[in-house]
Amino acid sequence: MQCYTTTCSSSSRSRLGPLHKNRSNSTMKTTTAFFGGCRRLQTSVYASTVHDIVPTLHDVSPLKLYNTMTRKKETFVPLDDKNVTMYVCGVTVYDYSHIGHARAYVSFDVLYRYLRYLGYNVLYCRNFTDIDDKIIDRANAVGEDPLELSKRFAHEFHVDMDTLGCLRPSLEPLATNHISDMVDSISKIISHGHGYAVEGGDVFFDVASLPGYGKLSGRQIEDNRAGERVSVDGRKKNPEDFALWKSAKPGEPTWDSPWGPGRPGWHIECSAMIRSLLGETIDIHGGGSDLMFPHHENELAQARATSCCGGAHDQDYFARWWVHNGFVNVDSEKMSKSLGNFFTIRDVSESYHPLALRWFLIGTQYRQAINYTQRGLEEASDRLFYLYQTLFDAHTVLEGDTSPASSEAALLEEVLDALSDDLNTPLVLAAFSPALKTLNDLIHTKKGKKRPDRIPVMRDIVYSLDVSLGILGLRPTDFRQVLDELCAVALNRADLTEEDVQEAITQRAEARASKEYETADGVRKKLEARGIYIMDTPAGTTWKPGCPTAE
């Protein structure tokens, strides 16, 4: 067990501090008791922010991270004791990002947060591909300058990542700001005998010249045969050779190079920027499984060929850990535009809270395929509401309590052990369930309220949950605000207004008063079928969102 303890209990108090402060501010006074009585949402669902976390003080099992290169989980040890370099392939910015992107960047955000929690300084770099065939095609189709279009969608990408609670990486380079680095890498690849320029100004990578090509993906060169559906460029030595530089075509943005005006191939972008910004060897290279081949295989080939003769270095070279997240399927089918089962983060956020989408995504371990279903999002929304309502109530009970939590809170240890096992986030979410039940018993039941250890037990659980949610990127600055937002999106899904629900509550009360219990029950069931649950509490009748029942 490694111990990162240095700052001790004052830091433990300070972590609880901001939430204690929040409880006493004026917005809290406007809220009602148990289950809140959902108010109409005044702010956008995008308004909530998510707390970052601070390094803390627990014994933590060493982090084991699956390495695609070695096909096994390995104890993560960075090259430099305290500093980690991590590069994750970013988006090609020509459209809104979809839930596949959400999956990838939420996965790496959790890894980023956890590495920081473990006390590492993490230099996290994620690029924007801001020039590419797809960008040029889209720009031509809509009559916009390609670089303006990519700038616009880079902004939209940031909006989506912010709503999902993803921290901004340390560096977010634009490909077009690093053309000279790419030209430099291509020149080296050519001079080392692994690239060649052809008539017309294109440059290709000579795959056959590099021993060990295919090691990362496990593919043989023959698998890489181009030309099955498109005709092979006859200027290539071999069909599998890929473009390092593409000569200028009329109407496209171009840059000067020793081979004439043109633009870089896609694969060279990442390896050249890594070399320029992070160095020759990084600790972690990440991306979706779909990038493993050919993109990452080609990045690795380029990096080896840029550096020297290519054959001398093996897996430890360029990226020490290759980390790949799994696919997103929709209703058990591959997500694709042609199947019409393609969802942007923006689409999903209209009906579900972005943090519910985040909860849903981390409900599957990052390497496994996720099956995206509406039911899954309904359940995630329901769990998140329960979690935040419980924490809101618990913080209310603990108001004024300034004692530090025990440094050996059992729940937190369980969470950290799960995270250290290749980020087993579903195990973390499962560990929350009994803890939340205990909290609710302590908050609401007669027996729980009488327990002599009520406050210390609550304090430890709340502390563990706060820290865990910080690592998962699920700890909002204001639970009440997100609860209200969850209510607002539930009303949207139900196609109801707050007034409609209040009217139904009145109808039900009138029916009950006239002993028409069947009618009253009918009103309740109708709402439940739309995901709105009426709650009778000592403070009066209110409602909360939940999973819609079959009518």
> What DSSP state is assigned to residue 295?
I
> What DSSP state is assigned to residue 550?
P
With respect to Zn ion, which residue has the nearer C-beta, 38 or 268?
268
Residue 398 in contact with Zn ion, rule: CB under 5 A: no
The minimum distance between CB 68 and Zn ion, in angstroms, equals: 14
**Is there a contact between 481 and 43 (Cβ–Cβ < 8 Å)?**
yes
Cross-strand partners of 74: 65
Residue 84 in contact with Zn ion, rule: CB under 5 A: no
Please give the size of the binding site for Zn ion, defined by CB under 5 A. Answer: 2
Cβ neighbour number for residue 296 with a 10 Å cutoff:
28
Residue 301 in contact with Zn ion, rule: CB under 5 A: no
With respect to Zn ion, which residue has the nearer C-beta, 179 or 270?
270
Residue 175 in contact with Zn ion, rule: CB under 5 A: no
**Is there a contact between 442 and 448 (Cβ–Cβ < 8 Å)?**
yes
Candidate ranges 58-66, 267-275, 491-499, 542-550; the one touching Zn ion (CB under 5 A): 267-275
Cβ neighbour number for residue 434 with a 10 Å cutoff:
12
The minimum distance between CB 270 and Zn ion, in angstroms, equals: 3
With respect to Zn ion, which residue has the nearer C-beta, 319 or 380?
319
The minimum distance between CB 257 and Zn ion, in angstroms, equals: 20
**Is there a contact between 209 and 193 (Cβ–Cβ < 8 Å)?**
yes
With respect to Zn ion, which residue has the nearer C-beta, 56 or 92?
92
Residue 89 in contact with Zn ion, rule: CB under 5 A: yes
Q: What DSSP string runs through 182-227?
A: HHHHHHHHHHTTSEEE-TTS-EEE-GGGSTTTTTTTT--GGGG---
Residue 323 in contact with Zn ion, rule: CB under 5 A: no
Q: In 223-239, which positions are buried (b, 16+ CB within 10 angstroms) versus exposed (e)?
A: ebebeeeeeeeeebeeb
With respect to Zn ion, which residue has the nearer C-beta, 214 or 546?
214
Candidate ranges 85-93, 369-377, 406-414, 517-525; the one touching Zn ion (CB under 5 A): 85-93
Of the candidates 287, 309, 310, 288, the residue with the CA atom closest to the CA atom of residue 300: 310
Within residues 475-514, the interface with Zn ion by CB under 5 A covers none
Candidate ranges 84-92, 250-258, 473-481, 506-514; the one touching Zn ion (CB under 5 A): 84-92
With respect to Zn ion, which residue has the nearer C-beta, 15 or 126?
126
Within residues 94-133, the interface with Zn ion by CB under 5 A covers none
The minimum distance between CB 369 and Zn ion, in angstroms, equals: 21
State in Å, rounded, how far the first CA of the chain is from the last one: 52
CA 116 to mean position of chain CA atoms = 16
With respect to Zn ion, which residue has the nearer C-beta, 41 or 270?
270
Within residues 27-66, the interface with Zn ion by CB under 5 A covers none
Structure-derived torsion over alpha carbons of residues 384, 388, 394, 398, reported in degrees to the nearest 10 = 140
Q: Which of 122, 131, 197, 270 binds Zn ion (CB under 5 A)?
A: 270
CA 291 to mean position of chain CA atoms = 17
With respect to Zn ion, which residue has the nearer C-beta, 176 or 381?
176
With respect to Zn ion, which residue has the nearer C-beta, 36 or 90?
90
CA 283 to mean position of chain CA atoms = 20
The minimum distance between CB 125 and Zn ion, in angstroms, equals: 11
Binding residues vs Zn ion (CB under 5 A)? 89, 270
